[in-house]
C-alpha cells in the first residue's frame, strides 16, 4: 500500500511549546479484527517527554489538512481580510527594518568620523606636528577600523535592500491563492504537499484555531 503523504509536514507548529508537529499513525481494529490506521500530527515535545508536556498533544491529519486548504480557499475570496493581512505583513516588515537601518546609520556616521580623523592626521603631518612614523601607525589603525565597519555596513545594506523588495502586494497574493484554489484538487498528494510548501511559511496550531502565514510567492 502506498504510504500516506502528510501535506503539512515541516509546516505545522504547536502554539503551546513552539515544536513542530510530526506525522504519526495509530492502529485500530475493526470489529472483524482487521487493522486500519489513523493518521495524525503529534507535537514533537510529547514524543521526547510525555503527553502532559503540551496542551495541543496531537491533531487528526485529515481534519487539519482539510481546514488549511479551506482557509486558503476562503482567504482568496475575502478581499477585505486579504487587504488587512497584507497591510499587517508590511507593518511587520517595516518593524524588522528599523533596527537594521538604525545600526547602518550609526556605522555610516562612524565611518565618516574616521575619514575626518585621517584627514586631520595628514594635515598635522603637513604642519610638522607629528612624525611620518606616527602618521603611518595611526592611519593603519584607522583604516583597519574603517574596513571592519564598512564590511558590516555593506552587509546591513544588502539585508535592508533584500527585505525592502519584499513589500507585499495584495493583488499578487490574491492571484496566487486563486490559482492555487483552481488547480489544487487536481494535483497528486505529493504535488499538493509541494504546493503548500510554496504558499505557506508555517501553520500554527492553537487549541481552537489554526493561524496561517502565507508567502507572497
Q: Which pLDDT score, from 0 to 100, does residue 10 have? A: 92
Assigned C-alpha cell, 110: 562612524
Q: What is the mean pLDDT of the chain?
A: 85
> Is a pLDDT exceeding 90 seen at residue 74?
no
- Strands, sheet with 21-29, edge to edge from the N-terminal-most edge strand: 21-29, 35-43, 58-60
The reported pTM is 0.55
Tell how strand 210-214 and strand 58-60 pair up.
unpaired
Burial-class residue 209 by CB neighbours within 10 Å (0-12, 13-18, 19+).
exposed
> In this structure, what are the phi and psi dihedrals at residue 26, rounded to the nearest 5 degrees?
-130, 145
Confidence of residue 80 (pLDDT cuts 50, 70, 90): confident
Task: Note the pLDDT tens digit of each residue in 6-43.
Answer: 999 999 999 888 889 999 988 888 888 888 889 999 88
Q: Which pLDDT score, from 0 to 100, does residue 118 have? A: 92
Taking a C-beta distance cutoff of 8 angstroms, is the pair 85, 47 a contact?
no
> Is a pLDDT exceeding 90 seen at residue 4?
no
Residues 6+ apart with CB under 8 A from 40: 23, 24, 25, 26, 58, 59, 60, 61
The DSSP annotation for 63-106 comes to HHHHHHHHHHHHHHH-HHHHHHHHHHHHHHHHHHHHHHHHHHHH
Any idea what DSSP says for residue 33? S
Task: Note the pLDDT tens digit of each residue in 139-197.
Answer: 999 999 999 999 999 999 998 888 776 666 666 666 666 667 777 888 899 999 998 88
Look at 85 and 58; give whichever has higher pLDDT: 58
Assigned C-alpha cell, 164: 525592502
> What proportion of the chain, given as a percentage, has pLDDT over 70?
88
> Is a pLDDT exceeding 70 seen at residue 1?
no
> In this structure, what are the phi and psi dihedrals at residue 32, rounded to the nearest 5 degrees?
-80, 0
Confidence of residue 217 (pLDDT cuts 50, 70, 90): very low
Q: Which pLDDT score, from 0 to 100, does residue 166 have? A: 63
Q: Which residues pair with 40 in a beta bridge?
A: 24, 60
Average pLDDT rounded to a whole number, residues 196-210? 88
Amino acid at each position: 500500500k502506498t504510504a500516506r503523504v502528510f501535506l503539512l509536514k515541516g509546516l505545522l507548529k504547536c502554539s503551546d511549546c513552539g515544536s513542530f508537529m510530526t506525522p504519526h499513525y495509530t492502529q485500530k481494529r475493526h470489529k472483524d479484527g482487521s487493522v486500519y490506521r489513523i493518521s495524525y500530527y503529534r507535537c514533537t515535545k510529547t514524543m521526547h517527554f510525555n503527553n502532559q508536556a503540551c496542551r495541543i498533544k496531537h491533531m487528526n491529519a485529515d481534519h487539519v489538512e482539510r481546514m488549511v486548504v479551506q482557509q486558503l480557499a476562503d482567504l482568496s475570496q475575502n478581499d477585505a481580510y486579504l487587504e488587512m493581512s497584507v497591510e499587517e505583513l508590511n507593518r511587520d516588515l517595516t518593524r524588522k527594518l528599523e533596527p537594521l537601518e538604525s545600526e547602518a546609520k550609526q556605522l555610516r556616521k562612524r565611518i565618516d568620523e574616521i575619514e575626518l580623523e585621517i584627514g586631520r592626521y595628514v594635515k598635522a603631518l603637513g604642519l610638522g606636528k607629528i612624525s611620518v612614523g606616527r602618521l603611518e601607525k595611526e592611519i593603519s589603525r584607522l583604516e583597519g577600523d574603517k574596513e571592519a565597519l564598512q564590511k558590516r555596513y555593506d552587509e546591513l545594506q544588502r539585508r535592508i535592500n533584500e527585505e525592502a523588495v519584499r513589500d507585499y502586494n495584495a493583488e499578487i497574493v490574491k492571484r496566487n491563492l486563486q490559482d492555487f484554489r483552481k488547480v489544487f484538487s487536481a494535483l497528486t498528494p505529493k504535488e499538493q504537499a509541494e504546493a503548500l510548501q510554496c504558499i505557506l511559511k508555517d501553520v500554527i496550531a492553537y487549541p481552537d484555531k489554526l493561524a496561517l502565514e502565507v508567502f507572497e510567492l
